Structure 1
Amino acid sequence: MAVSLFDQFMSPSYLGVPLLALALTLPWILYPSPSSRWLNNRLLALQGWSINQFTRQILLPLNIPGHKWALILTSLMAFLLTLNILGLLPYTFTPTTQLSMNLALAFPLWLATVLIGLRNQPTAALGHLLPEGTPTPLIPILVVIETISLLIRPLALGVRLTANLTAGHLLMQLTSTAAFVLLPMMPSVAALTAVLLLMLTLLEVAVAMIQAYVFVLLLSLYLQENV
Structure 2
Amino acid sequence: MPLLPEHLLAGHDTFMAGRYAQEQSRYRSLAHEGQAPETLMIACCDSRAAPETIFDAAPGELFVIRNVANLVPPYQPDSDFHGTSAAIEFAVVGLGVRNIVILGHGRCGGIKAALAKDDEPLSEADFIGRWMSLVDEPAHGVKTMEHMTAGERQTALERISIRYSVANLRTFPYVAEREGRGELSIYGAWFDISTGELWAMDGETGDFRRPAVDRPPSAGG
TM-score (norm 1): 0.28
Structure with the bigger RCO (C-alpha within 8 Å, sep 6+) is 1
TM-score (norm 2): 0.28
Larger Rg: 1
Higher share in strand: 2
